[in-house]
A and B are shown apart, each in its own frame.
Chain A
Amino acid sequence: NAGVMQNPRHLVRRRGQEARLRCSPMKGHSHVYWYRQLPEEGLKFMVYLQKENIIDESGMPKERFSAEFPKEGPSILRIQQVVRGDSAAYFCASSPSADLGYGYTFGSGTRLTVV
């Protein structure tokens, strides 16, 4: 049973470009969460999605960031017009239920570098 798959593992973008980060949850998991880890900091919650729905986006920056989790395919975190401050590790997690007692598994992360 494959774990949470994130790709790419590393992504380099020039300022002003778009970044697309992908997350395939574990089989049977329909809940996806995105977190951002800035250098030397802990992880900060960004957004929680269930298939085709955004449940909680209280941690998402108001501009340039968006997330989706379509009926088919991976969840996508999209950052438009990237700036140097977007350089961070972005982690995705998935769970089979909204109750965290059923498990909460992280992927290996995508390291975004904006040059």
Chain B
Amino acid sequence: AQKVTQAQTEISVVEKEDVTLDCVYETRDTTYYLFWYKQPPSGELVFLIRRNSFDEQNEISGRYSWNFQKSTSSFNFTITASQVVDSAVYFCALSKSGSARQLTFGSGTQLTVLP
């Protein structure tokens, strides 16, 4: 069985602070995908990143960066110099690769960035 744990239910930071959202996963599969999605107050799901389990390189996209550590089964997400528009619920998700069809989501982290 697969499981995704986002232990931080809510985080509040002041604008321009850096913030890291934790994601720990469990899977017996040797190949899998990891995802991060953002859900702003408007409710839609915004895709942020997909990472294959074979690729352990960290990734940076603007103010966003992701740290994938297979040894600790973690895929953490850092926002640098946070902004009020970053306020949202962030979900980490996991799936098998290949013929997999469904994502297993964590319960989400509510990030509030205060001005």
Q: A: which residues have CB within 8 A of B?
A: 31, 33, 35, 41-45, 48, 55-56, 59, 89, 91, 98-101, 104-109, 111
Contact B91 A99 (CB under 8 A): no
With most chain A CB atoms within 10 A of its CB, the pick from B50, B97, B101, B103 is B101
A-B contacts, 18 of them at CB < 8 A, read A43-B93, A43-B103, A43-B105, A44-B105, A45-B102, A91-B45, A99-B97, A99-B99, A99-B100, A100-B95, A100-B97, A101-B52, A101-B97, A104-B47, A106-B45, A106-B47, A108-B43, A109-B44
**Contact status A104-B45, CB under 8 Å:** no
Q: Please report the C-alpha to C-alpha distance between residue A31 and residue B52 in the assembled complex, in whole angstroms.
A: 20
Q: In the complex, what's the smallest C-beta–C-beta distance from B59 to chain A, in angstroms?
A: 16
A-B contact number at CB 8 A: 64
List residues of chain B with CB within 8 A of the CB of A91. Answer: 45
Q: How far is the CB of A10 from chain B (nearest CB, A)?
A: 10
**Residue in B closest to A103 when the chains form the complex, CB atoms:** B50
Q: Is the CB of B43 within 8 A of A48?
A: no
Residues of B whose CB lies within 8 Å of any CB of A are 33, 35, 37, 43-45, 47, 50, 52, 91, 93, 95, 97-108
Q: Are A43 and B91 in contact (CB under 8 A)?
A: yes
Contact B105 A55 (CB under 8 A): no
Contacts of A56 in B (CB 8 A): 101-102
Closest to A6 in B: B44
Instruction: Choose among B47, B97, B102 the residue that contacts A33 (Cβ–Cβ < 8 A).
Output: B102
Candidates B47, B52, B103, B108; contact of A105 at CB < 8 Å: B47
Q: Using CB atoms, name the residue of chain B closest to A3.
A: B44
State in angstroms the CA–CA spacing of A37 and B71 once bound together. 31
Q: In the bound complex, do residue A111 and residue B43 qualify as a contact, i.e. CB atoms below 8 Å apart?
A: yes
Residues from chain A with Cβ under 8 Å of B47 in the complex: 104-106
